[in-house]
Amino acid sequence: MPITEEIVEVTGYEEAAQVLRGEGWSSAGGEASAFLPPNVLLFMDPPDHTRLRRLISPAFTPRSIERLRPRVEAVAGAVLDGLFEESGEADLLADLGYVMPLAVIAELLDVGIEGAEIFGEETPALVRMLEVDPSPEDIEQSMAAANELMMFLVPILTERREHPGDDFISFLLRAEELTIDEVLSTCMLLLAAGHETTANIIGNGALALLRDPAQIPHLHADPARAVEELLRMESPVRFAGRVATMDHDLGGQKIAAGTPVLVRIDAANRDPRRFPDPERLDLSREPVPNLAFGAGHHYCLGAALARLEANVTLPRLFQRFPELSLVNDEPRWRESTTFHGLTELPVRAARGIMVS
């Protein structure tokens, strides 16, 4: 199907939801899909997407993820224990935001310390291929990281097929309809998308609370509600790309088949037609479904896991370090067309104020 040169940005909530939930839109193709392993859910359409998601999704249901809460709580406790061990300052993004999902994914895949270290080294480059318009350098570094990760994971998949355990890889391999390539692709997607988005949720959420500490009591009173508001205000992903496979009418605008569309998740989540006073952070706000994790066929498979990690980590952070403060009033945001996240988040903890 020919692709038109015009790219349409969709910023309204209802129009964005129409694209994400409706028929006649494709997620296949794009720069990144040519360099990732085959069968990556992010770049598949029904019916192939439907078949693969049906086989994988039982591992990611809210009930399945809730069973991981004790493990996530243990990881959060260990990470917070070491946060200010060496000095009174720390980088919440590097030392907490990225460490939490990395440790949880390493446990899920049961790859030990070696695996966690490899994941930590390679995933920052891997996610560069998920940019809306990746540069040649992005693609080169992402391909190199993908090759390193596949070289590490393939022997593990082969061994788990022969000797399954109680881990995510073994769970996937028990589904006889899934191929080794599909299991590998799912693990790679978990590393690329799951690691980055969860780190951004924790980092963005912590920054929002440090800037508006009056909201912290609401976080402690109802973490789940608070995290939903943080997701709405500081969505970890900026855009979702689609291509029209048929003619559409979006809020009166005609979209011809073949037109690429960028759904502005950040703008849609601040649409005043959907959210009253949308620029105001209010962690006591009555939750209204937002699009931070997308919608429809491609609703984020790891949404429940990311929410659990944020629900566990953020309240414990501010309970453990109630006098936490920013080192820089204006932390730097990373340059990314896809992700909404910081480059770093330096903070300090007042001595003698820490509680357990």
CATH number at residue 209: 1.10.630.10
Strand ranges of the sheet holding 346-348, from the earlier edge strand across to the other edge: 89-91, 346-348, 325-326
Rounded Cα distance between 129 and 137, Å, is 10
Give a yes or no: residue 2 inside a domain: no
Assign 3-class secondary structure to 162-216. Answer: HCCCCCHHHHHHHCCCCCHHHHHHHHHHHHHHHHHHHHHHHHHHHHHHHHCHHHH
Give a yes or no: residue 86 inside a domain: yes
Number of domains the chain contains? 1
Q: What is the pTM of this model?
A: 0.91
Rounded Cα distance between 326 and 349, Å, is 9
Give a yes or no: residue 354 inside a domain: no
Grouped pLDDT means (10 residues each) for the chain, 356 residues: 68 96 83 60 85 89 90 94 89 95 91 90 87 83 90 94 92 89 89 88 97 96 97 94 93 92 96 95 92 92 94 97 92 90 92 41
Contacts of 205 (CB under 8 A, 6+ apart): 227, 230, 234, 310, 314
* pLDDT reported for residue 9: 93
- Alpha-carbon radius of gyration of the chain: 20
In degrees rounded to 5, what are phi and psi of residue 190? Answer: -60, -40
Rounded Cα distance between 266 and 260, Å, is 18
* pLDDT reported for residue 29: 59
* pLDDT reported for residue 49: 87
Give a yes or no: residue 39 inside a domain: yes
Give a yes or no: residue 173 inside a domain: yes
CA dihedral 3, 9, 12, 14 (to 10 degrees): 10
* pLDDT reported for residue 352: 40
Give a yes or no: residue 325 inside a domain: yes
Give a yes or no: residue 165 inside a domain: yes
User: Looking at this protein, which amino acid is placed at residue 314?
Assistant: L
Give a yes or no: residue 356 inside a domain: no
* pLDDT reported for residue 297: 87
Domain extent for 329? 8-348
